[in-house]
Every structure is written in structure tokens, then in C-alpha cells.
């Protein structure tokens, strides 16, 4: 049937939806948000200026008033940094989102100015404290004695506070970790001092090439004394990723291992989680100590390699360090770390979206997604156009990128010259600086291969990972098409799951969002759906977002009186795990050279169709009643002629709509003819 009524106009909105209403009292809402973090500034000043409050002025906030209010707040002592918006960020219009983004950038700039002041003040104090402190030898401090480790050129200040210097990559001291003499005393850096990426270094012995990265000083001293290796201490779990990246920059070709703490008695095992994050960032193995699982040992709450040394001696440390592996899985999760009442205290931040559609969230950040398309629909042109929009912070029809992103496109089916021609036609010779693209046609093999019955990473994966490393700060990776990078059995669901898992590992390790194209099955190629992907269903099942393209179908072509429907494609996203389903499909038309252009289909198909049927009535001398046209034998011939031009025309369902349209728009009228005892009502077409 031709559906004339259900197709809304395909019109790109010139303005975003009606602005959302700001809550009546954003000050109260922001104050309540601060209270969630036990912060109370005693009142909010709405001037877009950073204000300090709390003990030693260690807390801060900045509030930006307006239709949509935004704010930033935090605590320099704890490292807290948060943002707040008076409405849900996911529902902001494009203009509102831009305003909120600008406010948050201003807040970050203001905080950075304060950070630099704090860093300089703490650096000066660290230098003074260090110069006035006393060098200690051996275990001449209760902390060192309890930990069974030596002092490696540490110093002690007043009140027997042990000083551990914190260095940057240039071995310049910025801060001091202060360790009290009393057992269980809290370790603290200098107030407001820089911490991110800073470390303490055990220099390592000659001819020992191994490098370790760990958290605390006592763990680092233990590993150094047992192995003689070079050891970098990050001071806390949260600093492990930053230190790992710094160490990798300093030692790009040396063997590095992350030696984690196992914080299994905490609600969140930050030691393991952050160590594995650091390991993914620099492609390093991770190892952590294991202890007997008995009541007596658990009561001691042992977590790190220094605890292992005090329990079982240096040999146990050496043996367990040798178990480091990139493939080691996370330890089992205890009940204390999985209870939502323990770890979920506030609502996490809203997910970030890399693309919007008609001003609404569309393509989420940090996913592996798929674009399924039938042959000849222009999927490569579509991906290229998306890449250009993302790299420039621009738009592709109603699809918009809120900000410029760093994008890499890898193509396996077309050579470099063909890519050049297509990108030139899309960009008219002016390219975004953040856009990178290359053909690997015939040069790079699949990402996975079979080792007996087991799928394993292939050389293509190692090549892709090294390529990502050489594009630091990469936001989005496009791969076209999947078939050139797959390498496994196409219809094997287990293989599909493992291939998606491999892409997920890249996403986690490098923070890159991945979108690949895939061909469609013949059975499902004519309609955009989650089932249109060719091969294993686990491919789409494993993706968090999936879109599709197909040639415009005949019903739509009839509706809009499109005669060259083969040049039109429909685009839709049937799967999006993190946002609502988009309201309708959108359409593109292939232009010169195959470039896809967004097409605003106008809902005037009924006018054209009715006009053509009106012409047929005028050319036919016969008189037809409504019944004749809708189902009677007398109307068979004229309806058959009409169906030649509109193959999807269904007489009983579509003819009443055509007659109604002609009457309402002055193309025809109903006329009664005959006698009072033998009359009938005919459809009379007007001559225009």
C-alpha cells in the first residue's frame, strides 16, 4: 500500500527544539549537588568567578548564570573535580550545549590558574622542607623498620616526618609525600601540590633491564631490593595511568611491568582497576600479589608486595613478580565491592555523544559501532562524510558533531587515489587538520586468525594498534569494510564475539571510539534493521550502536513521486543502547561523483499522484462512481493503467485517499446523475 499519511516531512530543522525550562531555583539545586559531596560554601555567588571555601580554602566553585546554568566545583586536597548543569545535559539543544561547553572551558581555565598558583606555592615549600631535612640511613625510622625496607636517600623533617620527593620526567621536584612515624598514619602531599604524573624513582642496578611501576614507596623499595630493577612509584592508584605514560615516554623500548596493589577489601578495587588501565595504555603486563585465603591472613588485610615480603619473605616476591602477564584476568569480586549501596553514591555523569541528529544525542562516545549497508548505497562515501563532519566539528545534513575530533579512516577496498578523489569531491580540496585517512588495500591482513580451533590476534591487529599509538589523542577510528579486517568464519557467532572483543580492547586501551562498515545479507538488504548485517549475528549483538543504509524502496518513491529511486538511500539507526531511537529515517541522494547529499523529502507525493489520476479521468470519457473506482469492474481498466506507473498501488486502500484528495483540493467533485428512482453519484474531474 502507498502510505500517504504517516510520512512526516524530511526537513532539517533550522532551529533546535524549544528551549528547555530552567529549574525555578538553580541555586538550591546546585547547593544540593554540593551537599552530595559534603561541600558547603555558605552561599553561591553567580558571577562566573572562581571562589574558594572550606578549611584552608581547599574547596572551590564557579557558577555561570543564564537560561541554562552551569557550574564547576572541587576540592584540591582530595582531587575532586566535578561539573554541574541546571538541566540534563543529554536534553540540551545544540546552542545550549555550546554555551554550557564554553562555560565549562572557562571554569577549567579559572581552576588551572588557581592550580598553577598552588603548584608553585607547594613546590617552593617542598624545596625548603627538603633542604632543611636530615638524611637518614638504613632503617633508621619506625616506618622503614616496620616495612622491613631501607631508606634510599630519603630525609626526615620535624616531628620525624619522612619525606619522599615527587619528581617529574625532568627529575625536578614538585612535591613531597609526608609519611608519619606512627603506624597507620596518613600519608599526605603538600597542600595544593602537583601530583599527576609525578613519581619517586629507584634507579636500578647495572645490567638489570626490567622496569616496574607500582604505587607506594614501601612497595617500590621491596621490588627494588628483591630484583634490583628500576622502579617508579606513583604514590597512589589514581596516578598509575599518568605515571605509566610518562615512563613509557622515557623508556619506549624497554620492558615495563605494572606491579599492582590488590585492594580487595575496599568497596572499589582501585589498585587492580587502575593498574589494568595503566597496562592497557602502554601495553604492559600487570601483576599483583596473592595471599592465602584464610581467616587469619585476611584479618591482616594484606594488599601489596611489601605485605607479601613481611609475610613470606623476598623469595615469594620474586616468584610472584615473575607471573606478570598481559592476559591475566581480574581477581574474583568480593561482595563488599559489588554492593550498589557501597559504590553508587551519586548518579554518574551523562554519557558524551560525538554526533547529534536534529539536535538530539545520536552516536555515543566510547563504543564499538557498525554501519551495515547494501551494495551500491555509498557506505564509503557516507563514512567519509561523517569523518569530515567529526574532524571539523561540522555537519552532514542534520547529523552534527558538537566539537572537532581527531579522526583516522582506514580503508581496505579502495586504493589511495580513489580515496583521494572521493575526499576531494566531498571537501572541495579543503580538509580539516584533524582528519587522517589511508588505504591499506592489499597491504594489511585481517585482525585475527585461527590457531588450531582458537581465534587469536593476527599481524593486522598489531599493525592497527601501532598505528593508533602513532596518532596520539585519536578520538574516532573508521574501518571500511569489516570483511577486509575480519579473518575468521563469517557465520560463527563465537568468532564474531571475539572479534568485537578485540576492538573493545582497543577502545579501552586508547580511549578511541570505533565505527566499522559491514555488508548486508541478501535476505535483509532491502530494509534497515538489526538483522541486515551479513554473517554472525553476534557482530551486531556485541556493538552498542548500529546504523544501516539501503536503497529507497518503491513505496517511498511513490509517496514522493521519485522516479530515479536507485539514486536515493535511506539511513537509520535501529540499535542505540544509550539513547532513545531516532524519530525517523533520513534520506540521501547520490550526486556528482557519488557524493551523498542530505535530501529533504517534501510530503507532496499525494499531490503528484492525485494529479496524474485526475489527468487519467479527464482522458477517459466514461463516468465512474466511487464504487466503480474503488472495487467495481467498470474501473478495472483505468486502475490497471494507473498501476503501471505506481506498482505498489493497492486499489481498495489507496483509491479512497486519492478521491478524497482530489475533492478537497478542487480537482474533482461528486455529482448525482439519473432519475430519482435510478440515480448514482459519480466522480467528476474538473478541467483546469
Asked whether the beta carbons of 422 and 593 are under 8 A apart, the reply is yes
Please state which of the ranges 172-186, 421-435, 451-465 shows the lowest mean pLDDT.
Answer: 172-186
Q: Of 127-136, 383-392, 483-492, 608-617, where does mean pLDDT reach its minimum? A: 608-617
Q: If pLDDT is split at 50, 70 and 90, which confidence band does 676 have?
A: low
Task: Please tell me the predicted confidence (pLDDT) of residue 283.
Answer: 85
Highest mean pLDDT among 271-285, 321-335, 338-352, 652-666: 271-285
Query: Which set of grid coordinates corresponds to residue 216?
Result: 607506594
Tell whether the model's pLDDT for residue 5 goes beyond 80.
no
pLDDT of residue 525 exceeding 90: no
pLDDT at residue 16 in the model = 43
Q: Which has more pLDDT, 200 or 656?
A: 200
CB atoms within 10 A of CB 542: 19
Lowest mean pLDDT across 84-98, 194-208, 481-495, 527-541: 84-98
Is the confidence at residue 523, as pLDDT, over 80?
Answer: no
Distance (Å, whole) CA 612 – CA 605: 11
What domains, with CATH codes, occur in the chain? 26-122 (no CATH), 133-338 (3.40.1360.10), 365-599 (3.40.50.300), 605-685 (1.10.10)
Average pLDDT over residues 112-126: 91
SS3 331: coil
> What is the band of 11 on the pLDDT scale with cuts at 50, 70, 90?
very low
Q: What's the CA gap between 572 and 96, in Å, rounded? A: 26
What integer best gives the mean pLDDT of the chain? 86
Give residue 588's pLDDT.
92
Per-residue pLDDT tens over the stretch 276-310: 889 888 889 999 998 988 888 888 899 999 999 99
Rounded mean pLDDT of 215-223?
Answer: 95
Whole-Å CA distances, 154 to 50, 136, 144, 195? 38, 6, 11, 18
Q: In the prediction, which pLDDT does 10 show?
A: 43
Taking only the tens place, the pLDDT of each residue in 452-473 is: 888 999 999 989 998 998 898 8
In the structure, what pLDDT confidence band is assigned to residue 67 with cuts at 50, 70 and 90? confident
Per-residue model confidence (pLDDT) at position 533: 83
**Secondary structure of 264-299 in the HEC alphabet?**
CCCCCCHHHHHHHHHHHHHCCCEECCCCCCCHHHHH
Residue 18 scores a pLDDT above 50: no
Cell 580540496, residue?
429
Q: How confident is the model at residue 315, as a pLDDT?
A: 93
Residue 325 has pLDDT above 70, yes or no: no
Summarised one tens digit per residue, pLDDT across range 346-358 is 777 778 889 988 8
Q: In which band, very low, low, confident or very high, does the pLDDT at 91 lie, cut at 50, 70 and 90?
A: low
Q: Of residues 91 and 450, which shows the higher confidence score?
A: 450
pLDDT for 673 equals 84
Q: Per-residue pLDDT averaged across 557-569, rounded?
A: 79
Most confident of 331-335, 347-351, 487-491, 583-587: 487-491
Q: Say yes or no to pLDDT of 250 above 70.
A: yes
Looking up cell 517511498 gives: 556
What pLDDT sits at residue 167? 95
Whole-angstrom distance, CA of residue 639 vs CA of residue 628: 10
573 vs 325, higher pLDDT: 573
74 CB-near residues (< 8 Å, 6+ apart)? 59, 60, 61, 80, 81, 82, 111
**Residue 9's pLDDT band (boundaries 50, 70, 90)?**
very low
Please give the average per-residue pLDDT across 347-376, as a whole number: 86
Neighbours of 145 (CB within 10 A): 12
19: confidence class by pLDDT, cuts 50, 70, 90: very low
From start to end of 412-512, where are the E strands? 435-439, 448-451, 454-457, 476-480
User: How far apart (Å, rounded) are the C-alpha atoms in residues 200 and 284?
Assistant: 20
Q: Provide the pLDDT for residue 23.
A: 46
Span 259-276, mean pLDDT? 87
- Whether residue 682 has pLDDT greater than 80: yes
pLDDT at 543 over 80: yes
More confident of the two residues 358 and 216: 216
The share of the chain scoring above pLDDT 70, in percent, equals 91
Amino acid at each position: 500500500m502507498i502510505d500517504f499519511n504517516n510520512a512526516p516531512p524530511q526537513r532539517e530543522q533550522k532551529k533546535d527544539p524549544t528551549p528547555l525550562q530552567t529549574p525555578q531555583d538553580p541555586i538550591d539545586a546546585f547547593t544540593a549537588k554540593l551537599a552530595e559531596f559534603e561541600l558547603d560554601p555558605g552561599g553561591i555567588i553567580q558571577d562566573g568567578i572562581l571562589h574558594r571555601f572550606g578549611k584552608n580554602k581547599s574547596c572551590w566553585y564557579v557558577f555561570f548564570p543564564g537560561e541554562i546554568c552551569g557550574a564547576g566545583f572541587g576540592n584540591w586536597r582530595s582531587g575532586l573535580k566535578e561539573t554541574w548543569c541546571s538541566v540534563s545535559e543529554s536534553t540540551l539543544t545544540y546552542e545550549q550545549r555550546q554555551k554550557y561547553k564554553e562555560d565549562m572551558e572557562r571554569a577549567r581555565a579559572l581552576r588551572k590558574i588557581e592550580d598553577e598558583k598552588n603548584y608553585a606555592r607547594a613546590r617552593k615549600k617542598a624545596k625548603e622542607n627538603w633542604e632543611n631535612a636530615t638524611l637518614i640511613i638504613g632503617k633508621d625510622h619506625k616506618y622503614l623498620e616496620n616495612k622491613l625496607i631501607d631508606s634510599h636517600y630519603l630525609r626526615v623533617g620535624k616531628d620525624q616526618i619522612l619525606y619522599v620527593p615527587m619528581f617529574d620526567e625532568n627529575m625536578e621536584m614538585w612535591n613531597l609525600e609526608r609519611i608519619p612515624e606512627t603506624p597507620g598514619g596518613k600519608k599526605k602531599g603538600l597542600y595544593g601540590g602537583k601530583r599527576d604524573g609525578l613519581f619517586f624513582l629507584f634507579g636500578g642496578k647495572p645490567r638489570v633491564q626490567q622496569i616496574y611501576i607500582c604505587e607506594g614507596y614501601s612497595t617500590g623499595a621491596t621490588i627494588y631490593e628483591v630484583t634490583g630493577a628500576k622502579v617508579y612509584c606513583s604514590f597512589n592508584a589514581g596516578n598509575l595511568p599518568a605515571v605509566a605514560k610518562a615512563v613509557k615516554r622515557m623508556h619506549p623500548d624497554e620492558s615495563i611491568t605494572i606491579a599492582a596493589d590488590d585492594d580487595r577489601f575496599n568497596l572499589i578495587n582501585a589498585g587492580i582497576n587502575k593498574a589494568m588501565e595503566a597496562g592497557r595504555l602502554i601495553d604492559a603486563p600487570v601483576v599483583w600479589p596473592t595471599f592465602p585465603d584464610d581467616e587469619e591472613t585476611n584479618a591482616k588485610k594484606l594488599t601489596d608486595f611489601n605485605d607479601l615480603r613481611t609475610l613470606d619473605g623476598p623469595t615469594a616476591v620474586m616468584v610472584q613478580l615473575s607471573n606478570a602477564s598481559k592476559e591475566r584476568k581480574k581477581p574474583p569480586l568480593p561482595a563488599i565491592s559489588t554492593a550498589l549501596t557501597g559504590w553508587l553514591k551519586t548518579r554518574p555523569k551523562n554519557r558524551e555523544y560525538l554526533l547529534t541528529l536534529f539536535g538530539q544525542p545520536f552516536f555515543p562516545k566510547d563504543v564499538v559501532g557498525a554501519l551495515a549497508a547494501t551494495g551500491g548505497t555509498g557506505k564509503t562515501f557516507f563514512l567519509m562524510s561523517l569523518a569530515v563532519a567529526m574532524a571539523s566539528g561540522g555537519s552532514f545534513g542534520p547529523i552534527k558533531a558538537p566539537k572537532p575530533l581527531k579522526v583516522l579512516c582506514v580503508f581496505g577496498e579502495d586504493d589511495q587515489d580513489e580515496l583521494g578523489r572521493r575526499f576531494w569531491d566531498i571537501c572541495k580540496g579543503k580538509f580539516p587538520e584533524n582528519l587522517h585517512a589511508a588505504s591499506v588495500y592489499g597491504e594489511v591482513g585481517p585482525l585475527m586468525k585461527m590457531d588450531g580451533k582458537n581465534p587469536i590476534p593476527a599481524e593486522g591487529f598489531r599493525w592497527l594498534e601501532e598505528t593508533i599509538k602513532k596518532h596520539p589523542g585519536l578520538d574516532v577510528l573508521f574501518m571500511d569494510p569489516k570483511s577486509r579486517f575480519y579473518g575468521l568464519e563469517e557465520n560463527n557467532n563465537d568468532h564474531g564475539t571475539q572479534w568485537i572483543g578485540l576492538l573493545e580492547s582497543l577502545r579501552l586501551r586508547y580511549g578511541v571510539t570505533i565505527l566499522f562498515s559491514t555488508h548486508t545479507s541478501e535476505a535483509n538488504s532491502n530494509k534497515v534493521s538489526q538483522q541486515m548485517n551479513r554473517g554472525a549475528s553476534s557482530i551486531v549483538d556485541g556493538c552498542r550502536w548500529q546504523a544501516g543504509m539501503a536503497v529507497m524502496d518503491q513505496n517511498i518513491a511513490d509517496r514522493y513521486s521519485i522516479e530515479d529511486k536507485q539514486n536515493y538511500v535511506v539511513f537509520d539507526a535501529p540499535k542505540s543502547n544509550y539513547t532513545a531511537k531516532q524519530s525517523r529515517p533520513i534520506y540521501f541522494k547520490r550526486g556528482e561523483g557519488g557524493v551523498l547529499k542530505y535530501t529533504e523529502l517534501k510530503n507532496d507525493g499525494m499531490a503528484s499522484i492525485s494529479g496524474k489520476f485526475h489527468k487519467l479521468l479527464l482522458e477517459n470519457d466514461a463516468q465512474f462512481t466511487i464504487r466503480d473506482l474503488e472495487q467495481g469492474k467498470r474501473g478495472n481498466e483505468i486502475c490497471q493503467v494507473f498501476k503501471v506507473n505506481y506498482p505498489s498501488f493497492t486499489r481498495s486502500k489507496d483509491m479512497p485517499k486519492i478521491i478524497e484528495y482530489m475533492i478537497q483540493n478542487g480537482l474533482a467533485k461528486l455529482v448525482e446523475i439519473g432519475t430519482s428512482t435510478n440515480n448514482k453519484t459519480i466522480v467528476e474531474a474538473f478541467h483546469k
